[in-house]
Structure 1
């Protein structure tokens, strides 16, 4: 039986890629332990790269992008999953090195999946998606390092983005005061609606200063920006506080006298990699999302799309023209 998939192909002569919805069959799918009837996927920046120029993310064509998905198990060689089980997948380079979620069926290794927790349906799981589990993993890391709700706020940089938005909403729901950093004043009401108690203009933290330390302000930080901003934020952390850094692993360099916060204030810098997390940690993170994330606050930023919309949306997201979270209904 054939089904729909967004297939990216590459012309060997010109090197140009193109994407179109095509009919394929289960025999075309890559090897794996579990076959999933995909219901929803998301649109992320990496998906745009895979649909468009690739930038080295796609090594073999034809290719099915989609770095996350949620759906129902159809067949399984692993005792953890039975037909009818609801599952979710993020990470493990699915949609990059392995065919991903932009098809009505996917076949993957069982270890890459986790059971969809009670309290979330498949559409909600992809409204949260890779951005949401990254935010939750950052919060869990900060809590493991001792963060608790208190009088001093937790700073979230890049707060209007996908990871930042979810982080703000979860932290507020857990009782933390949240200071949200944004370079777009028009997003202030949106961030306050998610629960931010303080809006910090990006320019307040963008300038590099020669001071080795500044006044202590933040009990913790989730940083999605890096570069000069991270260097500045580290100087403002409370004694013993932690920064969970999630963004721009190969991007802008950190500037400033970084050694001073670590020695004189005992600041911790925690790197968060959401791609290859242990199974138990992913299960815990999704359970926490189901219990701690107020989904109604995120519905305002969710837009729906179908497979046929993706070639254009893949180009748009690379241009910064896609706002909020895009949930892809692969059966729509």
Structure 2
């Protein structure tokens, strides 16, 4: 008989998704050519949406949520992975249509996995998680758009969240001056500790503004969307780049073409879910060098599987600071 292990399973009901802690076996996992003993997962905004049902993230029920996990390969029929390999997974529809990281074991296609470098532990990989990996992709997007530290400061919206916190730490280490936008004034010291040089109230950006405002930053990392993104674009300097990776305020973009045709501003979309493997591997290699692990530790808290239903609501309410590492075996 297969050994049982713990998982958080979400089922569909008439009202809202129902999350239950269950004991399952490997026979209950979905198809894949690599089986992983999961050490850690994490909590992203999308995980909060999935667990609460606030958006139709989960496409197949019942499902184990969790769009991230890090652990060790226990069995593999994939040529690129062997038993004992340390791996990380971000996206690819895991936790949406394929069983995810909120369990002690996972089975997935090996083509979805990235081998962890020796200088990143499984716990650190989940302190980074999809949020931090997305932040790295966003910084790479700024670089692709020609935004260098000498061009001027970079705005980071949703600064106290997961993407924002990691983006600030990376940008600071790379020599950028960072303007952090947050709705939590009490987090000013935290954000400055990560490397922000200036803190602004998110209300400066969250209300409708001018089609073209004063040039305030050379680029921006935006995890908020909607009016905030429109205002970030309108105040970006000539030739600047704004990377868009989130929708905490909304999916709409109530802005103007003025920044694009009068200032040559570039809007770069950041997709972490289906990003090509080559780009993923570059991002993870750079995270090992461009992210100060002491700052990562300062922005990280720990949790257990049992904490996930509570954390799901808190992250949607903007009450989760930085990153959360979930020890699925605790």
Length-normalised TM-score, structure 1: 0.92
The answer (yes or no) to whether the contact 1:34–1:108 under 8 Å persists in 2 is: yes
Deviation by residue 1:72-116 (Cα, 9 ceiling, x = unmatched): 011111111111010000011101100001111100011111111
Q: 1:155 to 1:48 in 2, by over 3 A?
A: closer
Pairwise CA distance, 1:247: 1.4
**1:280 positional shift:** 0.7
* Aligned pairs for 1:10-159 within 5 A: 10-11=12-13, 14=14, 17-53=17-53, 55-150=55-150, 152-159=152-159
- 2:305 matched to 1:303? no
- Work out the number of aligned pairs and report it: 328
Query: What secondary structure does 2:102 align onto?
Result: coil
Separation in structure 2 between the aligned mates of residue 326 and residue 250 of structure 1, nearest angstrom: 21
Is 2:2 the partner of 1:4? Answer: no
Relative to structure 1, the CA distance from residue 199 to residue 125 in structure 2 (aligned partners, 3 Å threshold; closer, same or farther) is same
User: How many angstroms apart in 2 are the aligned matches of 1:213 and 1:55?
Assistant: 32
| Equivalent residue in structure 2 for 1:292, among 290, 293, 311 | 290
Residue in 1 that maps onto 2:219: 220
Q: Displacement of 1:172 after TM fit?
A: 0.2
SS at match of 2:149: coil
Tell me the equivalent position of 1:193.
193
Number of the residue aligned with 1:174:
174
Q: C-alpha separation between the residues in 2 aligned to 1:234 and 1:246?
A: 14
RMSD: 1.9
Structure 1 residues 229, 314: CA separation in 2 closer, same or farther (over 3 Å shift)?
closer
On the 8 A contact 1:151/1:177 being kept in 2, the answer is no
Where does residue 264 of structure 1 map in the other structure? 262
Question: Which SS does the other structure have where 2:296 is aligned?
Answer: helix
Q: Counterparts of 2:219 and 2:316 in 1: how far apart (Å)?
A: 31
What is the deviation of 1:237?
1.5
Partner residue, 2:272: 274
Deviation at 1:119, TM superposition (A): 1.4
Q: State the TM-score, normalizing by the size of structure 2.
A: 0.93
Question: CA 1:21/1:220 → structure 2, altered by over 3 Å: closer, same or farther?
Answer: same
- C-alpha change, 1:232 and 1:318, in structure 2 (3 Å) is closer
Q: Cα 1:205–1:249, aligned 2, differ >3 Å: closer, same or farther? A: closer
> In structure 2, how many angstroms separate the alpha carbons of the residues matched to 1:98 and 1:117?
25
2: distance between equivalents of 1:241 and 1:203? Answer: 22
Moved beyond 6 Å, runs of 4+: none
Distance in 1 (alpha carbons) for counterparts of 2:183 and 2:112: 36
- What is the distance in 1 between the residues matched to 2:80 and 2:29? 21
